[in-house]
Chains A and B, each alone.
Chain A
């Protein structure tokens, strides 16, 4: 028996080795801190107790735990492009201008903005008493630093080619900031929501600081990002009420549901299906999210290059079937590459351009010389179940006009390269997240746009969208964008299916979740009902 024990001990040596190195390395651990496990909530309380008791009435700090599905692409906002990242980090950083839940551009770090008659000079009056999270006061110096960097005026590469129109910037005094433009641009004001960062701070990529209502606390790769309320935030109205927000990175949909049900998350972004499972015990918030789910067609691929074929496809597709079948009705039908969430620019006269009509579709196919149909391969990114399901319904619908669809499910990285970058595809289903500027939404179909993956080429459209970008008269500009929507609908670049709702499940006592026309989880609006 003694020997058996020895043998057992030996058997565990394998793992014993592992455990030793484990314990040894723990003491040296630098950045991995505990994933606060909150079956008992006290762990979160410990770390904030020192800071926030002064101002809140209750002694226990309030915590909201939520999920995101992907890792932040970069903590430095100028290096980041993923909407999942800005969705949470927009609580930390602010720009000269900001946006509200209607999608309107409103003052941010600047109290006001004066645009000269010719549209070439932007004068911002900056707020006083604003400090960055490291205590450094915000002045025009930081604005100069930021815009020099964004536009590449400091001799380095521009952060974004969108700022190419900036000629120079200057700061007449500490709280005035002026931008001179090379040419007038109607969409430039929307660009000034770009995050302003403190001059001379080098560690944005590891411990980012901004001026926003929440400060960054920590990021544990693969686990979570934690934020804390900034108690001396300058704007009383936008002051957060929740002391601490913990955002967990969770990729598994059923893990999110069980985490909600076992009281480990307070707020979660869930699928419609899962929302129904959670429905009884949680509040479900549902809203169009300014997304466009499109069945994109490669306009240079042989049968699809014929506009009649593309129109026939539009007549054959029944969008309501997809909305019911895939999104359980929680989606808004679209008629162009534009969501009605952007109400100002939305062209509402396109709803009867294509109504489902199989006979009409068949005759168009016949006119185009494809009465017998053709084979069509739809490539869909397998990590988006909704798009895969949509492709399946499309397969059934298109078989009615003899188009023989086969579905190829591919990996996201492959989709980005094959479909999005190289347009090596016939048809695909994808969703594009919302933008505040209509130009950003519609420019995808401009022939010279680098990522015009539909390969749509219409000089008239190109000219119109270019003209709209520099049109300073708002009304004319709105008309132009409405016209743009009409052109891409009539030319049937693809089938614009729907704007799927963003579905959030929240604990019943957690109130105030607010939707924006861009993906943004506004922490400042959240509060617990007592």
Chain B
């Protein structure tokens, strides 16, 4: 119980600090949201009207305090740019980004786990070298490069997949998946390569442990040693990586979302910053801090499931 209380307290402190920092940065950063929205041809009367409707006639500190007060009542405020509740905007974008995270993680695990284990088992055979090299290469190709490459093959040349846009799940799983497969691949090819390296190293490290020698001397077969002992112990770093990956994608992959014109969290974030949409930025900061804390928490829980010797303290 004390553990949870501490986690929640830590969460609140994190969010408070991050929001104060964001607030401070926006004090220094030049830029007026009304002018950004209306552009160079805005009429002074239009600018005034828009500022008033945003509540920008109040001093900045007062607006910040209003926002904090609203947050405690579960109200994240209204976006300057979209004139819609921040919570609703984040919720809409979250659906897109969560779909992206879901498919990416599945692809990452489906590719990374078997290849990583296979590579560890066969590391001495010559066939391992090209696989290892391939994973090195896909690890070092930036995701946007991979995106363009994938778009060129699957959209321009083969014309079998769409290169931009998002279809919600309720329009059919097929259509939903069709839009998701390329961006997810672009993320998964890189991250699964990382996963392969981690699993490979982790299994190799475990193989040098004393208990392996014991098992071997008992006469346990190599396959059984791997499946029953080594794998489980090697999964700790894997969970860490996946946890980081999830919070990374859910925090918005700005570049991937831009390349595929995905209306997700990353797109929302870049728009909110370039339009100086203060309530939306603060809302996103809270959301992201929440995601990171939640992911870390779930990862910690998983640790104790995999290795009962690890206790949540």
Within 8 A of A (CB), among B156-186: 156, 159-171, 175, 178-179
Query: B50 an interface residue at 8 Å Cβ cutoff?
Result: yes
Query: B49 an interface residue at 8 Å Cβ cutoff?
Result: yes
The minimal Cβ–Cβ distance linking B11 to chain A, given in whole angstroms, is 17
Closest to B171 in A: A34
Count chain B CB atoms within 10 A of each CB in A10, A11, A32, A82 and give the residue with the most. Answer: A11
The minimal Cβ–Cβ distance linking A302 to chain B, given in whole angstroms, is 23
- Quick check: B259 and A421 within 8 Å, CB to CB? no
The minimal Cβ–Cβ distance linking A376 to chain B, given in whole angstroms, is 21
Query: B197 an interface residue at 8 Å Cβ cutoff?
Result: no
Given A81-B39, A264-B164, answer yes or no on A26-B95 (Cβ-Cβ < 8 Å). yes
- Quick check: A37 and B165 within 8 Å, CB to CB? yes
Q: Which residues of A contact B164 (CB under 8 A)?
A: 248, 250, 255, 258-259, 264
- Quick check: B32 and A12 within 8 Å, CB to CB? no
Q: Which residues of B contact A467 (CB under 8 A)?
A: none
Q: Which residues of A contact B162 (CB under 8 A)?
A: 37-39, 262, 264
- Quick check: A19 and B271 within 8 Å, CB to CB? no
- Quick check: A262 and B155 within 8 Å, CB to CB? yes
Closest to A251 in B: B258
The minimal Cβ–Cβ distance linking B87 to chain A, given in whole angstroms, is 12
- Quick check: A223 and B98 within 8 Å, CB to CB? no
Q: Which residues of B contact A250 (CB under 8 A)?
A: 164, 261
The minimal Cβ–Cβ distance linking B44 to chain A, given in whole angstroms, is 6
The minimal Cβ–Cβ distance linking B220 to chain A, given in whole angstroms, is 16
Query: B75 an interface residue at 8 Å Cβ cutoff?
Result: no
- Quick check: B102 and A19 within 8 Å, CB to CB? yes
Query: A525 an interface residue at 8 Å Cβ cutoff?
Result: no
The minimal Cβ–Cβ distance linking A433 to chain B, given in whole angstroms, is 7
| Bound complex: CA A160 to CA B276 (Å) | 24
B contact residues, range = 35 or more
The minimal Cβ–Cβ distance linking A219 to chain B, given in whole angstroms, is 10
Given A81-B38, A205-B83, A258-B155, answer yes or no on A34-B43 (Cβ-Cβ < 8 Å). no
- Residues of A in contact (CB 8 Å), total 79
Query: B237 an interface residue at 8 Å Cβ cutoff?
Result: no
Query: A161 an interface residue at 8 Å Cβ cutoff?
Result: yes
Query: B293 an interface residue at 8 Å Cβ cutoff?
Result: no
The minimal Cβ–Cβ distance linking B295 to chain A, given in whole angstroms, is 6
Closest to A450 in B: B44
Binds A, one of B125-133, B211-219, B238-246: B238-246
The minimal Cβ–Cβ distance linking B3 to chain A, given in whole angstroms, is 19
Binds A, one of B16-24, B58-66, B199-207, B227-235: B227-235
- Quick check: A18 and B274 within 8 Å, CB to CB? no
| Bound complex: CA A432 to CA B41 (Å) | 9
- Quick check: A18 and B91 within 8 Å, CB to CB? no
- Quick check: B160 and A39 within 8 Å, CB to CB? yes
> CB within 8 A of B95: which of A7, A14, A22?
A22
0/1 interface trace, chain A 245-261, chain B, CB 8 Å (1 if under): 00011111011001101
| Bound complex: CA A416 to CA B235 (Å) | 51
Query: A23 an interface residue at 8 Å Cβ cutoff?
Result: yes
| Bound complex: CA A343 to CA B267 (Å) | 42
Query: B281 an interface residue at 8 Å Cβ cutoff?
Result: no
Query: A396 an interface residue at 8 Å Cβ cutoff?
Result: no
0/1 interface trace, chain B 24-48, chain A, CB 8 Å (1 if under): 0000011110011111111111101
The minimal Cβ–Cβ distance linking B281 to chain A, given in whole angstroms, is 12
> CB within 8 A of B99: which of A12, A22, A416?
A22
> CB within 8 A of A25: which of B95, B235, B258, B261?
B95
0/1 interface trace, chain A 221-258, chain B, CB 8 Å (1 if under): 11110000000000000000000000011111011001
Query: B298 an interface residue at 8 Å Cβ cutoff?
Result: yes
- Quick check: B159 and A39 within 8 Å, CB to CB? yes
| Bound complex: CA A272 to CA B167 (Å) | 31
Given A82-B39, A416-B40, answer yes or no on A11-B302 (Cβ-Cβ < 8 Å). yes
Q: Which residues of B contact A18 (CB under 8 A)?
A: 94, 98, 101-102, 250
| Bound complex: CA A16 to CA B298 (Å) | 12
- Quick check: A414 and B30 within 8 Å, CB to CB? yes
| Bound complex: CA A73 to CA B80 (Å) | 11
> CB within 8 A of B275: which of A10, A157, A413?
A413
0/1 interface trace, chain B 245-287, chain A, CB 8 Å (1 if under): 0100010000000111101000110010011100000000000
> CB within 8 A of B305: which of A10, A421, A433?
A10
Closest to B302 in A: A10
0/1 interface trace, chain A 438-461, chain B, CB 8 Å (1 if under): 000000000000110000000000
Query: A417 an interface residue at 8 Å Cβ cutoff?
Result: yes
> CB within 8 A of B81: which of A14, A43, A71, A224?
A71
The minimal Cβ–Cβ distance linking A29 to chain B, given in whole angstroms, is 7
Query: B139 an interface residue at 8 Å Cβ cutoff?
Result: no
Query: B134 an interface residue at 8 Å Cβ cutoff?
Result: no
The minimal Cβ–Cβ distance linking B304 to chain A, given in whole angstroms, is 11
Query: A418 an interface residue at 8 Å Cβ cutoff?
Result: yes
Q: Which residues of B contact A463 (CB under 8 A)?
A: none
The minimal Cβ–Cβ distance linking A289 to chain B, given in whole angstroms, is 15
- Quick check: A35 and B36 within 8 Å, CB to CB? no
Within 8 A of B (CB), among A1-49: 1, 3-4, 7-8, 10-16, 18-19, 21-23, 25-27, 29, 31-39, 43
- Quick check: B35 and A421 within 8 Å, CB to CB? yes
- Quick check: A37 and B152 within 8 Å, CB to CB? no
Query: A412 an interface residue at 8 Å Cβ cutoff?
Result: yes
| Bound complex: CA A3 to CA B93 (Å) | 35
Within 8 A of B (CB), among A380-434: 383, 411-414, 416-418, 420-421, 432-433
Known: A19-B99, A29-B92, A255-B259. 6 other contacts (CB 8 A): A7-B235, A21-B94, A221-B92, A259-B164, A262-B162, A416-B40
- The 4 A-B residue pairs with the shortest CB-CB distance, nearest first, are A413-B31, A222-B263, A35-B165, A18-B98
Binding site for B on A (CB under 8 A): 1, 3-4, 7-8, 10-16, 18-19, 21-23, 25-27, 29, 31-39, 43, 71, 73-74, 79-83, 152, 157-162, 205, 220-224, 248-252, 254-255, 258-259, 261-264, 383, 411-414, 416-418, 420-421, 432-433, 450-451
